[in-house]
């Protein structure tokens, strides 16, 4: 290997950067690696040597990184989202980065930061971004990669990303590492599109996790089932329409014993959820663009509610349950209802996420391809699920589809399962089990399928106290009406 022939550099060799680098090496791409912490560079060097595939050049400065790369250079950053990204880019520019060189941000950056960077670095370098999903194992053996930036940079970067991404067969089934199939990597559009799509992926991830947790809670509280029993049911569900990575790991977790006490491990874990913020970003985006994603927002609220542990402890002792004590569930019926409720609520969550992407893409002028997004989420990423194949088909057949709930396949699935979904929500409500995500999805569904909502009264209220005007159903919507309500003579409605 000559000193100037590496295909790509990886700056930041923490868990994600190191595993992406090893994945690249395994696929035959030579990598120049650098981390501010020399021990991390040394660890990557050792693991690269043990792998024994393409050459890895351990660098001790950014100048060495630049000198080690083929031109035009491709430099991937795997550094914490935020100021660190700009700090490394400034240092690279000082070290001699050229205009035609591409710098790829592979972190979980906020998409509006990516938009700003795209502008800020114009004329200085080719700024590109690639959001990575799949955690440590995905990065090493096949992540889902959501790329955006200049199309020219994609021509250089694309072949590497497609090689290292997770692969699926024609039926959408994930293939083992190092196989060749359809790659879960795509160029999604300019500037912040990739990071945006990954943010919505994470919002869906939050909701998907919450929905599974609510089913577990209901089975545990209402049916008194042990975690391992619930885990077995989840494993069974994972063979059908609910097949997904999150279902699979939940089944696994619930059947795991605590090595210290021998009790179910899940029972030993404190019920306070953490979060890094991507679900919150999605909920905020939904509020800002006015595209309802209540199940995603509810999942963020559910994490916040979990954080109120001491207040909940006090409330549990002070707010008695006044519920239907005569309601004895039939276990197998309730389990079937919960299965269908989970499927329907999950579908509503994806419908919310895709509708949200459509709304923001329209604002930003991004040509997002929703069939392609569903395709690259079929493997590698955290929300990979069998029904992404159906979502991809739905958008392939109807690229202009406004909402997934209106696609024939899903409309039929909702018709078939709707009653069970309602029964599960009613049961939870009557017996005091919190199922905020599954219920919010049902509320979304019912509001969406209601032709006339009470927003007529709401508009009148706004006009009454604030002269905010309203439109009439018998006149063009653009025409605004206002009444001085308080001074109006009271009239009887003609019946």
Q: Are 324 and 431 in contact (CB under 8 A)?
A: yes
Least Å from the CB of residue 436 to ligand 6PG:
17
Report the distance separating Cα 31 and Cα 63, nearest Å. Answer: 15
Site membership for ligand 6PG, residue 250 (CB under 6 A)? no
Report the distance separating Cα 338 and Cα 296, nearest Å. Answer: 19
Q: Which residue is nearest to ligand 6PG (CB)?
A: 133
Report the distance separating Cα 165 and Cα 187, nearest Å. Answer: 13
Identify which of residues 74 and 300 has a Cβ nearer to ligand 6PG in the complex: 300
Interior angle at CA 416, CA 415 and CA 419, nearest 5:
80
For 145, how many CA atoms within 13 A lie in the half-sphere containing its CB?
33
Q: By CB under 6 A, how many residues form the interface with ligand 6PG?
A: 13
- Mark 256-286 as b/e (b = at least 16 C-beta within 10 Å): eeeeeeeebbbeeeeeebeeeebbbbbbebb
Which residue has 């927002």 as its token pair? 297
Report the distance separating Cα 387 and Cα 36, nearest Å. Answer: 42
Site membership for ligand 6PG, residue 210 (CB under 6 A)? no
Least Å from the CB of residue 28 to ligand 6PG:
25
Report the distance separating Cα 389 and Cα 355, nearest Å. Answer: 17
What secondary structure letter does DSSP report for 384? Answer: -
The span of 127-135, 293-301, 412-420, 473-481 binding ligand 6PG (CB under 6 A) equals 127-135
Residues 276-315 that bind ligand 6PG (CB under 6 A): 276, 278-279
> Pick the catalytic residue: 26, 182, 205, 214?
205
Binds ligand 6PG by CB under 6 A, chosen from 7, 102, 126, 202: 202
Binds ligand 6PG by CB under 6 A, chosen from 125, 381, 413, 424: 381
Binds ligand 6PG by CB under 6 A, chosen from 41, 133, 167, 420: 133
Least Å from the CB of residue 19 to ligand 6PG:
12
Least Å from the CB of residue 202 to ligand 6PG:
5
Site membership for ligand 6PG, residue 382 (CB under 6 A)? yes
> Pick the catalytic residue: 198, 214, 346, 358?
198
Dihedral angle over CA of 49, 51, 53, 57, nearest 10? -30
DSSP annotation string for 334-372: HHHHHHHHHHHHHHHHHHHHHHHHHHHHHHHT----HHH
Identify which of residues 117 and 198 has a Cβ nearer to ligand 6PG in the complex: 198
Helix residue ranges per DSSP H, 124-273: 135-141, 151-164, 193-223, 227-237, 245-254
Least Å from the CB of residue 447 to ligand 6PG:
27
Tokens of 5: 């022939």
Q: Is 205 a catalytic residue?
A: yes
CA distances to 55, 63, 85, 105 from 68, rounded to whole Å, are 12, 9, 21, 20
Tokens of 361: 């893409």
Binds ligand 6PG by CB under 6 A, chosen from 55, 72, 135, 158: 135
The span of 87-95, 132-140, 281-289, 451-459 binding ligand 6PG (CB under 6 A) equals 132-140
The span of 119-127, 128-136, 360-368, 442-450 binding ligand 6PG (CB under 6 A) equals 128-136
The span of 47-55, 129-137, 407-415, 437-445 binding ligand 6PG (CB under 6 A) equals 129-137
Binds ligand 6PG by CB under 6 A, chosen from 64, 70, 275, 396: 275
Q: Is 124 a catalytic residue?
A: no
Identify which of residues 126 and 285 has a Cβ nearer to ligand 6PG in the complex: 285
Residues 100-119 that bind ligand 6PG (CB under 6 A): 108
- Tallying the residues shown for the chain, one arrives at 495
CA distances to 241, 386, 427 from 447, rounded to whole Å, are 25, 27, 21
The span of 55-63, 95-103, 275-283, 294-302 binding ligand 6PG (CB under 6 A) equals 275-283
Identify which of residues 7 and 133 has a Cβ nearer to ligand 6PG in the complex: 133
The span of 131-139, 317-325, 396-404, 456-464 binding ligand 6PG (CB under 6 A) equals 131-139
Tokens of 327: 């309601």
Site membership for ligand 6PG, residue 213 (CB under 6 A)? no
| Active-site amino acid positions | 198, 205
Task: By CB under 6 A, name the binding residues for ligand 6PG.
Answer: 108, 133-135, 202, 205, 274-276, 278-279, 381-382
């Amino acid at each position: 290997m000559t000193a100037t022939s590496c295909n790509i550099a990886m700056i930041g060799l923490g868990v994600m950067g190191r595993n992406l680098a090893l994945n690249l090496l395994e696929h035959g791409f030579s990598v120049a690696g650098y981390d501010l912490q020399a021990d991390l560079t040394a660890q990557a060097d050792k693991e690269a040597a043990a792998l024994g595939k393409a050459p890895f050049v351990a660098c001790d400065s950014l100048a060495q990184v630049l000198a080690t790369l083929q031109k035009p250079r491709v430099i991937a950053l795997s550094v914490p989202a935020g100021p660190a990204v700009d700090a490394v880019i400034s240092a690279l520019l000082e070290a001699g980065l050229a205009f035609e060189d591409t710098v790829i941000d592979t972190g979980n950056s906020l998409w509006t930061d990516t938009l700003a960077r795209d502008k800020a670095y114009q004329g200085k370098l080719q700024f590109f971004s690639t959001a990575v999903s799949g955690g440590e194992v995905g990065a090493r053996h096949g992540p889902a990669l959501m790329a955006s930036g200049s199309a020219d940079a994609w021509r250089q970067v694309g072949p590497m990303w497609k090689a290292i991404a997770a692969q699926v067969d024609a039926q959408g089934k994930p293939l083992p590492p190092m196989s060749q199939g359809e790659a879960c990597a795509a160029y999604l559009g300019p500037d912040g599109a990739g990071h945006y799509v990954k943010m919505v992926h994470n919002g869906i991830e939050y909701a998907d996790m919450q929905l599974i947790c609510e089913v577990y809670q209901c089975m545990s509280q209402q049916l008194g089932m042990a975690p391992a029993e619930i885990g077995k049911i989840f494993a069974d569900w994972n063979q059908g329409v609910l097949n997904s990575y999150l279902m699979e790991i939940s089944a696994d977790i619930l059947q795991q014993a605590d090595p210290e006490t021998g009790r179910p491990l899940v029972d030993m874990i404190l019920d306070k959820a953490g979060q890094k913020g991507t679900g919150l970003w999605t909920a905020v985006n939904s509020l800002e663009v006015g595209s309802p994603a209540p199940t995603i927002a509810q999942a963020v609220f559910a994490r916040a509610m979990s954080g109120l542990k001491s207040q909940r402890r006090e409330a549990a002792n002070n707010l008695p349950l006044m519920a239907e004590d005569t309601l004895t569930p039939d276990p197998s019926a309730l389990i079937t209802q919960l299965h269908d409720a989970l499927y329907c609520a999950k579908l509503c969550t994806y419908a919310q996420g895709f509708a949200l992407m459509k709304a923001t893409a329209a604002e930003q002028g991004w040509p997002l391809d929703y069939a392609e997004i569903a395709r690259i989420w079929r493997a590698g990423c955290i929300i990979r699920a069998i029904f992404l194949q159906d979502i991809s088909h739905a958008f392939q057949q109807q690229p202009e589809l406004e909402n997934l709930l209106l696609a024939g396949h899903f409309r039929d699935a909702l018709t078939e399962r709707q009653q069970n979904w309602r029964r599960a929500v009613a049961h939870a409500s009557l017996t005091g089990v919190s199922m905020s995500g599954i219920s919010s999805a049902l509320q979304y569904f019912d509001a969406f399928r209601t032709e006339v909502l009470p927003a007529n009264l709401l508009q009148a209220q706004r006009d009454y106290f604030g002269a905010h005007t309203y439109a009439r159903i018998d006149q063009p919507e653009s025409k605004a009406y206002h009444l001085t309500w308080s001074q109006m003579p009271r009239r009887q409605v003609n019946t």
